[in-house]
Structure 1
């Protein structure tokens, strides 16, 4: 069989270096340990500093490294498992909800969300911003969109401090028929990136959920998770533990 075009493509030097560095992280370094400076690393592996930076940036995107201001580049801990299922047949903000409410505004939903809700492009909906924190770190931000038709008895006397809770209380009076979810890889928008302490355009996991009541979509949420620190887990068994190999001599020390 002849060589295919894909097989003929040469692996970029930085990608090969990334693989070598990844093995070194497993065998020589502990979580939280600071890596040598770029000059020393480039000399050790016999590459240009530009090639080294590309490899380090890729490892950071994959969650193996963290760059901390005033500290340097450190070995990142394994991604934390964030449970997003199974469905609990509960509205956002009800029961043992793990999100913190930040605020609420009335504004038209983005076109894809408006299509999910069945609202017009200029129809204002209640938009609740929430945040999820784990181990003292913001790992996700969420926008929960609730059309006025889902909360018709909402009082008109709302303040910025009471708006979100009032919308959630009204939403909880509806009988939830169920929900469906979809997850995809995306890029962090400027506002989400700031809240998640990431650069705009950083890779994120986007979880979109539709909530049904009375035979229609009563609310929709778009949750943005840090792809470098999170593994979304589904099912009854909860998070699957994934750890990186650590050399025995270091584990014993």
Structure 2
């Protein structure tokens, strides 16, 4: 990895450095190889470590690098395609790749309560699920289900844990799904999500919020967090993309 003169470059130094580093990743480094430490890289390119960090952070955001606990910064493999389930399918239906992990009652975030149309402090069933692809965790999901969406759920049959999660999903299948909508945005991994996804807190993630409709109302809300460094989302045959401008933000 050679040096380069950055002083006369009109664009921001970190952006040009990012381009130089990306070319080096393609020509000099293998997937999984550990990069030299920040001090060595900064000295080699004649830049401040703050400038180097900005370039590395941008490359991580673009999925070219991964920061791994106890390892350092490594060259990332190409992003894998992760299919987002087709429209008009309940969570847990046949072909669903998510693995139920837990279920517990709890008060949802205010934004989720607003989507559900529930009272601010009204508890709902919160199903936690995970998704693995190629042997590594790629996504974590919180599925919020109001009690009146699954009125026949028996606490005796499945009091807690994965069994309880499967019971909630099974009861959802009894509803006639009328439709759903999705929103996707770039976010930062919260501590709990980061632990599940084997990422550092604050790492870039793709957050997919899905509302499921039955009986003319929102019957459930899913907030799924995907690793942005390894995933590219595919949405089946619909091809529909809605672009919203302004201050609208999704639930998280």
User: Equivalent residue for 1:109?
Assistant: 108
TM-score (norm 1): 0.82
Sort the Cα spacing of 1:237 and 1:135 in 2 relative to 1 into closer, same or farther, 3 A: farther
User: Equivalent residue for 1:242?
Assistant: none
| Distance in 2 of aligned mates of 1:71 and 1:55 | 19
| Distance in 2 of aligned mates of 1:124 and 1:73 | 41
User: Equivalent residue for 1:206?
Assistant: 207
Sort the Cα spacing of 1:126 and 1:35 in 2 relative to 1 into closer, same or farther, 3 A: same
Aligned residues: 229
User: Equivalent residue for 1:246?
Assistant: none
| Distance in 1 of aligned mates of 2:148 and 2:35 | 55
Q: Shift of residue 198 of structure 1?
A: 1.8
User: Equivalent residue for 1:184?
Assistant: 185
When Rg is computed on C-alpha atoms for both structures, the one with the higher figure is 1
**Structure 1: stretches of 5+ with no match in the other structure:** 1-9, 239-253
Do structure 1's residue 163 and structure 2's residue 193 form an aligned pair?
no
Contact kept, 8 Å, 1:85 with 1:236, in 2: the verdict is no
User: Equivalent residue for 2:21?
Assistant: 21
User: Equivalent residue for 1:221?
Assistant: 222
- DSSP-derived class of the 1:91 partner: coil
User: Equivalent residue for 2:57?
Assistant: 57
Once superposed, what is the RMSD of the aligned Cα atoms? 2.2
Sort the Cα spacing of 1:38 and 1:141 in 2 relative to 1 into closer, same or farther, 3 A: same
- DSSP-derived class of the 1:156 partner: coil
CA distances 1:31-71 after superposition (whole Å, capped 9, x unpaired)? 22333444543344333444333322332232211234554
Q: Shift of residue 15 of structure 1?
A: 2.0
Do structure 1's residue 91 and structure 2's residue 64 form an aligned pair?
no
- 1:103-142 map, 5 Å: 103-142=102-141
